[in-house]
């Protein structure tokens, strides 16, 4: 007889998501170092980073379709294997293709974690889905905080101001991810799992597929592209975009992630008062304001902009998934995972596009015929290095200005969603009264 330990399963789920987010936080912190080490331009770096974002949707969508068949436990054991292989490949990477492959493996692992854990949390807490999804997803920004602080702390303690820093430090930073990876793999191998909520409710596969064609679900899928790009593209490229704005660019990401942790930890009263759609509207407004301030503020004021942006993106991912879990429950695990897959797919496409866009801006700011890699690798303090920094200072704001249009469009979309949900609630109330 199965004994479902809800508390232990939730804790193990949070630990697996911590590994997922560490891969983002640490990779964001060493992305620039990998570029220098292996002579990679921004387009190549963005393709490598984007690999995690399209490995993720591949895994989460496939996982969403098979999780009801094979069970959540088997998926999470496979996530552990992918994480382990991907981390080891990253540590011993020797160039573009090994970094590409290792990032793909980690992306697949990350997607498999969410493919299992989103429906697991929804199944464990059927009476409080959005709040518990916020509590679960707070471990994503928490891992980014831990990861960026690991990078910042070890760089400060071991690099001693040497530029570029010795690459073995980056290898140590990646290797630390092995500790929580092995821990969650062990925990999940020992625990019993429930069936998914759709299966336990007796919703047929045919009804699930019909629910996926609901116009409201399709609308939420489209919005997920925008919310994910706003949050994850900006966070993943923080070190690249702000390297010339502050000596500790990675700490901007730490500020953003710290605010996200606090927001999700105290999400319950906000979600219950405003409902997921109301929270999403406020999030879009604050995200747009945060990006605008990051472009126009300078010096230490950039950290204030990071706090505003962090408040904006804090609730995007869990409230998007929570909205579907609460209002479109018949879509089941597939619906939740299609949402996550859509978000990561949107980020991957956008990231590859913006990598080329960023390189083109850089080339336009450097002397005609300039070799981008030569300028990137120039000794600190040289004329070429100064010219490269000036070009980056100009390129970063242009990338952010382009990205700013996405949360602006989301504001309009979520205003429409709030109005629609109010009208639907009013119609349901009138129907109840007439009955």
Find how far residue 378's CA is from the centre of its chain.
32
CB 364: neighbour CB atoms within 10 A?
12
Higher pLDDT, 163 or 431: 163
Does 433 score more than 50 pLDDT? no
Write down the domain spans for the chain: 7-192+205-434
Looking at residue 155, what is its pLDDT?
A: 79
Q: Band the pLDDT of 252: cuts 50, 70, 90.
A: confident
Q: Yes or no: say if 16 and 113 are a contact pair by the CB < 8 Å rule.
A: yes
Write out the DSSP string of 133-176: HHHHHTHHHHHHHHHHHHHHHHIIIIITT-SSPPHHHHHHHHHT
- Is the confidence at residue 432, as pLDDT, over 60? no
Q: pLDDT at residue 430 above 60?
A: no
Q: Does residue 434 register a pLDDT over 50?
A: no
pLDDT at 230: 95
How many percent of the chain have pLDDT more than 90? 44
Q: What angle do CA 388, 390, 395 make, to 5 degrees?
A: 90
pLDDT band at 2 (very low <50, low <70, confident <90, very high): low
Which pLDDT value is given to residue 73? Answer: 93
Q: What is the mean pLDDT of residues 346-359?
A: 86
pLDDT given for residue 429 in this prediction: 57
Q: What is the pLDDT of residue 94?
A: 85
Inter-axis angle of helices 129-137 and 250-265, nearest 10 = 150
Could you tell me which CATH number the domain at 7-192+205-434 has? 1.20.1250.20
- Please provide the DSSP assignment of 76-88 as one string: HHHHHHHHHHHHH
Mean pLDDT on 178-193: 93
Which position has the higher pLDDT, 244 or 56?
56
Q: Is 274 exposed, middle or buried (0-12, 13-18, 19+ CB in 10 A)?
A: middle
CB 413 within 8 A of CB 403: no
Better pLDDT: 203 or 269: 269
Q: How confident is the model at residue 248 (pLDDT cuts 50, 70, 90)?
A: low
Where is average pLDDT lowest: 92-96, 236-240, 276-280?
236-240
Q: What integer pLDDT is reported at residue 428 of this predicted model?
A: 65
């Amino acid at each position: 007889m199965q004994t479902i330990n809800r508390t232990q399963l939730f804790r193990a789920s949070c630990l697996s998501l911590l590994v997922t987010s560490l891969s983002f936080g640490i990779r964001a912190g060493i992305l620039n170092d990998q570029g220098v080490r292996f002579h990679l331009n921004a387009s190549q770096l963005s393709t490598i980073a984007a690999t995690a974002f399209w490995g993720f949707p591949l895994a989460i969508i496939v996982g969403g379709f098979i999780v009801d068949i094979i069970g959540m436990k088997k998926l999470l054991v496979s996530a552990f294997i992918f994480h382990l292989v991907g981390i080891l490949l990253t540590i011993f990477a020797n160039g573009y293709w090994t970094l590409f492959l290792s990032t793909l493996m980690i992306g697949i692992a990350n997607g498999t974690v969410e493919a299992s854990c989103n429906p697991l949390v929804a199944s464990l807490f059927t009476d409080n889905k959005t709040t518990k999804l916020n509590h679960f997803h707070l471990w994503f920004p928490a891992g980014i905080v831990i990861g960026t602080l690991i990078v910042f702390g070890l760089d400060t303690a071991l690099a001693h101001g040497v530029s570029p820093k010795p690459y073995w430090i980056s290898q140590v930073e990646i290797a630390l991810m092995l500790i929580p990876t092995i821990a969650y793999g062990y925990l999940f191998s020992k625990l019993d799992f429930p069936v998914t909520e759709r299966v336990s409710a007796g919703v047929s596969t045919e009804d699930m597929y019909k629910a996926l064609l609901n116009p409201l679900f399709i609308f939420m899928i489209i919005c997920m592209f925008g919310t994910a790009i706003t949050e994850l593209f900006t966070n993943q490229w923080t070190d690249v975009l702000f390297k010339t704005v502050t000596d500790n660019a990675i700490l901007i990401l730490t500020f953003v992630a710290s605010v996200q942790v606090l927001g999700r930890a105290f999400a319950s009263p906000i979600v219950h008062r405003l409902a997921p759609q109301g929270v999403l509207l406020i999030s879009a407004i604050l995200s747009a304001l945060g990006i605008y301030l990051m472009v126009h503020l300078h010096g230490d004021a950039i950290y204030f902009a990071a706090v505003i942006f962090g408040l904006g993106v804090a609730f995007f991912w869990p409230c998007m998934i929570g909205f579907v879990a609460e209002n479109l429950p018949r879509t089941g695990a597939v619906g939740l995972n299609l949402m996550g897959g859509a978000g990561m797919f949107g980020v991957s496409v956008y990231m590859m596009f913006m990598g080329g866009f960023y390189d083109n801006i850089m080339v336009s700011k450097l002397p005609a015929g300039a070799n981008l890699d030569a300028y990137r690798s120039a000794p600190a303090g040289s004329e070429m290095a100064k010219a490269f920094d000036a070009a980056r200072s100009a390129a970063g704001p242009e990338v952010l200005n382009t990205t700013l249009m996405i949360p602006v469009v989301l504001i309009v979309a979520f205003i429409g969603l709030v109005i629609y949900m109010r009208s639907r609630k009013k119609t349901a109330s009138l129907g109840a009264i007439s009955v």
